[in-house]
Structure 1
Amino acid sequence: MQYIERVLSKFAPINLKISLKECNFGQQELLALGHKLSGLSLAIDQNKVAEILQKPVPKNIKEMQSFLGFSSYYRKHIKNLAHITSSIYKVCPKDIVFENTKERRDAYERIKYELTNAPVLILPEFELPFKFYIDAACSQGLGAALHKIQILGSEPREGVIFYISRQLRDSESMFRATQTELLFLVWNL
């Protein structure tokens, strides 16, 4: 309760008002902004995922861009999203006629699968060690995962804090794997 009072006391000097009917106090879990938040974790709101699962494969560029925007919002939950979406992004410029190829349909279905099976992200605890994994072996993009070592009972276990990825630029796609991994380390710093 003391933390709530501290936060609310900061609102008055800047004339910020809150609506009590929009507030949730003392909750173990909270659905907000498409996420399910708990004390130590962040998960995708399954109601949002259910909406996407019911939608058919996009039929035009606008529908595909809408889907890409949705999946990009949850990019922290999807390992190597840039690699998965690389075939889809090739069709997004306005001067290209949209063709729903097998490769694009497969990418669409894979993203839907990844969204429905996305890990629950854990919040960092800075007292415990972290592990940072990078994957720059593919010519499509860069991917990484930040993990935290958790002690559950007496056994250590790794949990995902977030995934990050991006596509390679044309000039970067000619790098060898070791050069690409170094590029990725520089990009993340």
Structure 2
Amino acid sequence: MSREELSAAAAPVLFVRKPNGGLRFCCDYRALNNLAKAKWFTKLDVVAAFHKIRMAPGHEGKTAFRTRFGLYEWLVCPFGLSGAPASFQRYMNSVLREWLDDFVTAYLDDVLIYSSGSKADHEAKVRRVLQALADAGLHLDPAKCEKGIACDPEKQRAIREWEAPTTVKGVRSFLGFANYYRIFIPDYAKITQSLDALLKKGTAFHWGRAENEAFQELKRRFCESPVLKQWDPSLPTFLETDCSGYALGGVLSQEGPDGRRHACAFFSKRLSPAEYNYPIHDKEMLAIMRCLDNWNAELRSCGPFTILTDHRNLAELSQFDFKLEYRPGSEAVVPDALSRREQDKPQGIDDEREQGRMIQLIPDSAIPSSTRACINAMSSDCSEASTLPKMKVFEPIRQSASRACLPALAGPEDPDFRMCDRRRQKADIQRPYLVA
């Protein structure tokens, strides 16, 4: 039900007596609930917070500390006293009591102002809080005050003027800088794939056309980054997903009052070596699962939402109202038996369901001479020969011959290479056909 966590924020807990005498564990989420529909946020940081509290007269000597110039004692509250945080928290609550849990909350020296109205309304609330802090003798550190994460125009200028790296260290430095803003960039993992490859151990640095195009595209995306909208669980929600051959991505968006969909967040992730070999329909499903996991909290807090995908089978399922429930395969006795009837199994390689599944096209020049000699010694009489007038068709191929072809197989990106069945990535499959 719960697990230990290190979080930047937490809710207080309390116990309520049950009618039967037991205790009910409760979390006070009022502060969190107040933030749910807020659109504007301002964070303030108080300078030297504890030093704004005067030590109680007669107790200054308890704070004495020694130096080579002699003993000194604090007239104000120093950092390090166990009671200092609680004392300062009481002081902050007294200063902001009028607006606490309405549009402002304070935790020690951090003050958060939030509102769901217009920008002008939020600015008016900020001025009221600033005046209250000034009247209490509290000062703020502008460098630590925040307005939320946004692409800094100065940072954008730095990116525009960033020259292409000439070393691995330079690539790592650029990607480390860019990674902080990746939530603003759609398809971030897809764009940076060629740059990430340069960081792999043992890879020689080579800055070619692909790397430069990725570098320039990433710089362009930074300077044209869209504005992310504040998440609102009451609005119609859409999850758009897609997967290429090497990365997956998604967009969490919501329909605003203007009837248009606005992006709330972006997600992208490179495929692992195992995921890279998935068939395309499995990759599309993986993209949906990864996005659901990434935005788990948001999607659980809203009502029914729409998933937009080019996974055709899932689109067909959307017309039905059903509930998904996991069941181990060992318990699927009846459907398992119906799917494994003897008369439904392919009856040898002549079965029409096997045709086209095991055909591998290999450039004639890619076949090693030793393998060619082995193949030429076999019979080339095959019924498919008439349909392939410019090719030699050999069937069957011995396991040893097909294994010898493996080093000659080109990758999927090679235009001379086509895999008819992507599930069968090797040549040494059951009685394959080799067309050369």
Structure 2, unmatched stretches of 5+, are 1-95, 112-137, 294-436
Q: Once the 2 structures are TM-superposed, how far is the Cα of residue 17 of structure 1 from its aligned partner?
A: 7.3
Structure 2 residue matching 1:128: 3-state secondary structure: coil
Q: Which of the residues 204, 211, 222 maps onto 1:97? A: 204
Match of 1:27 in 2: none
Match of 2:271 in 1: 168
Match of 1:69 in 2: 176
> Structure 1, residues 40-99: CA drift from partner, whole Å, max 9, x if none?
xx6311111111111211111111111111221111111111111111111112422211
Q: Whole-Å Cα distance in 2 between the matches of residues 94 and 53 of structure 1?
A: 29
Structure 1, unmatched stretches of 5+, are 25-29
Q: Which has the higher helix share?
A: 1
Match of 1:20 in 2: 139
Aligned length: 168
Q: Which of the residues 80, 85, 99 maps onto 2:187? A: 80
> Structure 1, residues 134-183: CA drift from partner, whole Å, max 9, x if none?
011x112000000111013xxx0111111100001111112122201211
Give, as a single letter, the amino acid of the residue that structure 1 aligns with 2:105.
V
1:142-161 to structure 2, matched below 5 A, reads: 142-152=248-258, 156-161=259-264
Structure 2 residue matching 1:121: 3-state secondary structure: coil
RMSD (CA atoms): 2.5
Q: Which has the higher strand share?
A: 1
**Which of 1 and 2 has higher RCO (CA within 8 Å, sep 6+)?**
1
Q: Whole-Å Cα distance in 2 between the matches of residues 7 and 31 of structure 1?
A: 15
Structure 1: 4+ residue segments shifted above 3 A: 3-6, 16-19
Q: Which of the residues 214, 218, 224 maps onto 1:117? A: 224
Structure 2 residue matching 1:100: 3-state secondary structure: coil
Match of 1:132 in 2: 239
Q: Whole-Å Cα distance in 1 between the matches of residues 263 and 110 of structure 2?
A: 36
Give, as a single letter, the amino acid of the residue that structure 2 aligns with 1:86.
Q
Q: Please tell me whether residue 7 in structure 1 is matched to residue 105 in structure 2.
A: yes
> Structure 1, residues 94-150: CA drift from partner, whole Å, max 9, x if none?
4222111110000000000110111001111111111100011x1120000001110
Q: Once the 2 structures are TM-superposed, how far is the Cα of residue 7 of structure 1 from its aligned partner?
A: 2.2
**Could you tell me the TM-score, scaled by structure 2's length?**
0.36
Give, as a single letter, the amino acid of the residue that structure 2 aligns with 1:143.
G
Q: Once the 2 structures are TM-superposed, how far is the Cα of residue 31 of structure 1 from its aligned partner?
A: 8.0
Q: Whole-Å Cα distance in 1 between the matches of residues 158 and 100 of structure 2?
A: 36
Question: Percent identity of the aligned residues?
Answer: 23
Structure 2 residue matching 1:69: 3-state secondary structure: helix
Q: Whole-Å Cα distance in 1 between the matches of residues 169 and 263 of structure 2?
A: 32
Match of 2:35 in 1: none
Structure 1 residue matching 2:254: 3-state secondary structure: strand
Structure 2 residue matching 1:163: 3-state secondary structure: strand
**Could you tell me the TM-score, scaled by structure 1's length?**
0.79
Q: Aligned pair in 2 of structure 1 residues 61, 126: CA closer, same or farther (>3 Å)?
A: same
Q: Aligned pair in 2 of structure 1 residues 3, 176: CA closer, same or farther (>3 Å)?
A: farther
Match of 1:181 in 2: 284
Match of 1:47 in 2: 154
Structure 2 residue matching 1:43: 3-state secondary structure: coil
Q: Aligned pair in 2 of structure 1 residues 115, 31: CA closer, same or farther (>3 Å)?
A: farther
